[in-house]
Amino acid sequence: VNFSEELEAGFGAQGLGIIAVSNVPGFTEMRSNLLNLAQSLSSLPENVLKELEDPASRFSFGWSHGKEFLESGQPDELKASFYANPIVDRPTDDPALIERYPSYCRANLWPGKELPDLESSFKKLGSLIVKVGLQLAAHCDKHVSRKGGDARLTDMLKNSLCHKGRLLHYYPRFRCSSCCKFLKASCSKCSGTKSSSWCGWHVDHGSLTGTFSRLTCAMYTREGREIDCPDSEAGLYVRTRSGAIVKATFGKDDIAYQVGEATELMSNGAFHATPHCVRVRTAQDDPLVERNTFAVFMQPHW
């Protein structure tokens, strides 16, 4: 099938840099399983989570909390991440490569005893997103070839051992990490209401980011029970080529793929990586709400 029209509309100069794929077999159940485990992971004892940290990888494997910084310069205590390669547990045994590329080459860490289902659920969903992403990449290559470009995206991603999954948990906002640094939330005094409070403006550096929404289609819970998104204005926002700010929305059961800088370069500008951010919920929202989501960054080989 020729998807050039859709690819141009989504990834081209006038698009948002996003394409959503629906009706992926097994996706809905895998999504639910993994996002529920994000809640369980964040509730593990501090000593267990500490064992899952990997400072040598610059916290790019295993558990990471409070290691990133907000635009204000404060540590981001509101969200925590768990990183792993969904395709291979140990990309290489070469110590020189592990030292040179620790963010890509170090081994996965799993809470096998405390949360045994996390590894299989993470790998199943992550592998599915990569598999569908490779099918999308093949169509991208066909489109680039029609435009006279060099079609290398599929081979580059198929041969890469650097794909990275990121499971995210956003803590409730009813406590203030600035006033009480051991508490896992923020107040309006600390985080403000700027649109980029959850995730500032940036462009993904890889090839494709496969995610089922940065916000609007994530899983929200209140005291352990799933609820609908509490704020219609919160979500993923994209800055278009003309400078307009547009909210990107797609279905709960869709996988949305965003163009990264590597794809923009390799396609010679046929596809465009757009700056995007995640807008925080407002201070008037229910402060007990927690959020879980998952993204896979499909990246070139080191």
Locate the DSSP E strands across the chain.
18-21, 62-65, 79-84, 164-170, 199-202, 208-211, 219-222, 225-227, 235-239, 245-248, 255-259, 276-279, 289-298
pLDDT of residue 67 exceeding 70, the answer is yes
The residue with tokens 């499909």 is 298
pLDDT of residue 140 exceeding 60, the answer is yes
Average pLDDT over residues 75-102: 93
**Domains of the chain, first to last:** 3-298 (2.60.120.330)
pLDDT for the residue numbered 181? 37
Q: pLDDT, tens digit, for every residue of 241-256?
A: 788 888 888 888 899 9
- Distance between the two ends of the chain, CA-based, in angstroms? 32
Q: Are strands 164-170 and 62-65 parallel, antiparallel or unpaired?
A: unpaired
pLDDT for the residue numbered 183? 40
Q: What tokens were used for 127?
A: 């592998």
Q: Which residues pair with residue 211 across a beta bridge? A: 256, 295
Average pLDDT over residues 60-75: 83
pLDDT for the residue numbered 285? 59
Within 8 A by CB and 6+ apart from 29, the residues are none
pLDDT for the residue numbered 280? 58
Q: pLDDT, tens digit, for every residue of 147-202?
A: 877 788 899 899 999 999 999 998 876 544 444 333 444 444 444 333 344 556 66
Q: What tokens were used for 45?
A: 């004892």
Per DSSP, the three-state class of 12 is coil
Mean per-residue pLDDT over the chain, rounded: 82
pLDDT for the residue numbered 134? 94
The residue with tokens 């070839």 is 145
